[in-house]
Amino acid sequence: MPIHRRPSWHIPDREATPEHLYISRRSLMAAGGAALAATPLASPAAAGTDVTALSALRSRRTRSLKEALTPLAAVASYNNFYEFGLDKGDPARNAHTLRPSPWTLAIGGMVARPLTLDVDRLIARLPLEERVYRLRCVEGWSMVIPWIGVPLSAVLSEAQPLGSARFVRFTTLADRAQMPGLASPVLDWPYREGLRIDEAMHPLTLLAVGLYGRVLPNQNGAPVRVVVPWKYGFKSAKSIVRIDLVGNQPLTSWVQAAPREYGFYSNVNPNVPHPRWSQARERRIGEIRRRDTQMFNGYGEEVAALYRGMDLTRFF
C-alpha cells in the first residue's frame, strides 16, 4: 500500500480555522466542498498603504507552520519594492499611487494555450488556500506571513506548457506614472525574475493574491505576486503582468545588475555567503535575537531533491 506523506506545512482539517470565522467582502465563501463561485475577488482598489482599510479576503482552508506570525503592521511597512523607493519604508509611503484594478496577467511563450487573465476574476473558480510561509531576505531579516492564493502550477497548467519549456520568466509592471522608483537606475526596468519549470510547478510555489485574510497591500505586490518560500525574497516577483514559459534560462534583474551577489537560483543557503555579509544567521522582524539560517529556509524536506547532484556553491 502506498504511503502518502503530508508536507510539513499541512495541518489537519480539525485544526483549520472554522469557516464561519472567515470574512468576505463579495461573498467569496464556498458552499460545502465546492470551489469558489464565479464572483470576482474582493476588489483590490482599496488596497493601499493603510492596512486597516484593506478589503477582507479569507480562504476556506488554512495551512500553517505553527510559528509565531510577524505582525501585519510590520509586514506592510518593512518592504523591498524598489519601484517605490530604496528605503524599507518607502513602499508603504509611496505605493498608494499603484492602481491594482483593473489588472491583467498574460501567460504565454512556450504554451499551447496563451491566456490573458483578468486578475479580479483570476482565482474565482479555484479554491483559495492560506499558507503560512517563512520569507527570508538576502539582507538577513525574515518574516512569517500567512499568504492567500493558489499553487502557481494550477494557473500554468491552464496554459498547457509545451514539453520544450524549461524555465518560467516573470515580468512585473513598469509604469513611471504609478511607480516613482523607476526613476532610479538601480535596475534595468521592468523587474524580471525566473524559475526553472520544476521549481515553478512545485506545490510550495504560490501565486498569492492576499495575506492576513486581506487582499495584498500595494507595497506587498498587489494585486498578484509569486511566493517561493525556499528562496530569498527577491525571487518572489511582485505586481506581475506577464508570465512566459521559455526554453533558456532567462536573464533576471538582479543577475544582470550584480551577478557575483545574486545568482539565478538564490536558494536560502547558510553555507554560501553573500560577498558583503554572511548568510549563516538571520533576524526575525520583531525579535532582537538572531537565529541560525536553515538550509532552503527550512523547506529542505520538500525541495532538496530538486537540486540533487548540483554544486550549490556554483549554482547559488
What are the structural domains of the chain?
A: 13-307 (3.90.420.10)
In this structure, are residues 130 and 147 in contact, taking their beta carbons and an 8 Å threshold? yes
88 has pLDDT over 90: yes
Q: What are phi and psi of 207, to 5 degrees?
A: -95, 105
Cα distances (Å, whole numbers) of residue 141 to 31, 93, 154, 277, 306: 40, 20, 30, 12, 25
pLDDT digits (tens, 9 = 90+) for 90-147: 999 999 999 999 999 999 999 999 999 998 887 666 778 899 999 999 999 999 999 9
pLDDT digits (tens, 9 = 90+) for 191-249: 999 999 999 999 999 999 999 988 899 999 999 999 999 999 999 999 999 999 999 99
In this structure, are residues 156 and 245 in contact, taking their beta carbons and an 8 Å threshold? yes
Closest CA relative to residue 104, chosen from 257, 245, 220, 242 = 242
The whole-chain average pLDDT of the chain stands at 84
Supply the pLDDT for residue 124. 65
This prediction's pTM = 0.84
Beta bridge partners of residue 282, listed in sequence order: 291
Cis ω on the peptide bond leading into residue 203 (within 30° of 0)?
no
282 has pLDDT over 90: yes
